[in-house]
Structure 1
């Protein structure tokens, strides 16, 4: 478990604010950033923007040594970031769009935007993606930078798939075939490969239950060895037909594996800056909770239970306990199993509840890093025991990219 911050410091810094609200503890954020760079062992860290969704925090990390580039989650977002950084020290920041786009409006905007075309790469995993771009822009469109996604899920037996359902390009032969197709198509330049090992990066190796932990660690060892060998073979083969500028891999949970692979040139990470609860279940690292939200006590229905206003901020992914926000401070509180975190009220229970009065705050952590920014329009930045700035999230800037 990550070290706990001081509840009294948080309360003192935010005493002028009415809950619910969200904060970013900049000291914890900076320590998390420093640890990501340490774990990357010399390879640059590309910031996964979906796990942050606040330009101020993305910019803070980008300006630190060891970070380079952004992994955006939509082309519209990449264009918005590019425009926002024009004329600043972040102008020309390399942006990789991590998911294929079928947004004709954004593609047309990209084609008309020389600065964005020089900085932004879109994701492809089939000739169909190229066809779609041609259909949106016309066959004589300007050159678009593209990145080939290599699937590095584990397939130990026919019909058994362990990992995210992403690219259909799984083998080195398939990667080379698509690379040649890209190279032969006017209007496209293959500049990179992405190979995201979600079955390691997104699954903590220290879950509850010894049997589950043992099975998961066995899977990740076997999968890790296989994917590194296959990624190296695929990258070497593609380099024979394309001048790659980058090979991206990993996520917060698999930085060591990715950085140790000589075929990669960079690692991706975002959640490790924020420290959500899903990343408590790793043995090798422990990010500090840097982004928290506070809810107010509005009822005391019985001893050892208080009810908080709002709080039903459920994370995406498989429905279950791990996707609920968790009470953090004061220590010793938990959600009620038959009510959980609700849209307009969230009861919590524990000895600490008896010490809480109406209007007192309970601090909670979200399960996933970036999704809290979809619930709040601003983050209050804490330094020491003071709020030193209040900055908008993507949502607060009127942007929601899906």
Structure 2
């Protein structure tokens, strides 16, 4: 904490920070785990143009970006980035027409589909803009069980029959070209397998093992069917930080997606055998001390999206402090209880936290302040600092 305090002593509070040394170590760790697969960086987990450029210059086998909206993709294309895969279907006409112009000007942009209606809408836009658009078919790799839907509710393509029908429909659309497949193992990549409850952890690990068997069969089967139909694709995308080692061993996958792992947000504390290091967080100032065992920070209510569980709270990095269960992380103030008589926190001190999810931290701050080996290294603007908010 002393090194951070010294590096950030002149900053206004609250502020977000990234430790470049830990970030570089995570880049190395994830590169080793991806086993020479091409790497597509998930922009939603970063949300900073300058940080994205830093990663593209330092990540081995970098191949492009997985973006999260059409408008964001326009912004990144206008700022010199290229090789985009929109991670989600989009129906925003104005932004898509702008992307059509970028395609005409030579940008490499691939749109995501999993349903005939999405594809038909894109084909109509492409036809009116007199351009051919590349598309990627998103597969549903979730594992429905009689008692639980294990995975995310996203793609409508859950069987090989559904896939074959969609491919037949897509090949009839003259302004679309099938360029890729994506099979994202959300229930492995995005679900921590080492929660505080050992019973829950046992169930999760069992379901993840069953999921791997389905994923391996279905994604490989789809790739084979596509090849038999005479269609070749530029890439087969899979994975995320939480499943990177498993996905990298899958022969049909040509590229993996990585985002959150570079910062290692707090949710990744619940993954077994994670070798990543926390590299990002935020700091609040102590402005009150109403009792000897209590300090109050100004701000702090930066909860993560998802189910309304305790693991969506920020994690306190500064030692011997805990949230009050009756207040949690507050909109304008966050009271913290000191858990040790040795705690000596006072008004004016910095208290450090880590956000539960990676990119969402940047929605709260205009810039990320950088530190390396205890030395302040300037700052990078976030999307918010560039005046942008995409979702």
Coarse TM-score class (shorter-chain normalised): over 0.9
- Residue 334 (structure 1) aligns with: 322
Deviations 1:29-53 (A, max 9, x none): 1111111111111112211110110
User: 1:117, CA displacement in angstroms?
Assistant: 6.1
1:15 corresponds to which of 6, 9, 21: 9
Cα separation, 1, equivalents of 2:236 and 2:148: 27
The answer on whether the counterparts of 1:171 and 1:234 sit within 8 Å (CA) in structure 2 is no
- Residue 70 (structure 2) aligns with: 75
- Residue 3 (structure 1) aligns with: none
- Residue 18 (structure 2) aligns with: 24
Deviations 1:340-376 (A, max 9, x none): 0000000111246841111100000000000000000
Question: Size of the alignment, in residue pairs?
Answer: 388
User: 1:108, CA displacement in angstroms?
Assistant: 1.0
User: 1:236, CA displacement in angstroms?
Assistant: 1.1
- Residue 58 (structure 1) aligns with: 52
Instruction: Please give the secondary structure, in 2, of the residue aligned with 1:177.
Output: helix
Cα separation, 1, equivalents of 2:14 and 2:104: 40
- Residue 98 (structure 1) aligns with: 87
1:209 corresponds to which of 179, 182, 197: 197
User: 1:286, CA displacement in angstroms?
Assistant: 3.5
User: 1:154, CA displacement in angstroms?
Assistant: 0.7
Instruction: Please give the secondary structure, in 2, of the residue aligned with 1:184.
Output: coil
Cα separation, 2, equivalents of 1:253 and 1:398: 31
- Residue 152 (structure 1) aligns with: 141
RMSD: 1.6
- Residue 174 (structure 1) aligns with: 162
The TM-score with structure 2 as length reference comes to 0.95
Structure 1's unaligned 5+ residue stretches are 1-6, 86-90
Structure 2's unaligned 5+ residue stretches are none
The 1:14–1:115 alpha-carbon spacing in structure 2 relative to 1, beyond 3 Å, is: farther
User: 1:271, CA displacement in angstroms?
Assistant: 0.6
The TM-score with structure 1 as length reference comes to 0.93
- Residue 31 (structure 2) aligns with: 37
The answer on whether the counterparts of 1:37 and 1:67 sit within 8 Å (CA) in structure 2 is no
Cα separation, 1, equivalents of 2:100 and 2:55: 29
1:184 corresponds to which of 172, 186, 194: 172
- Residue 262 (structure 1) aligns with: 251
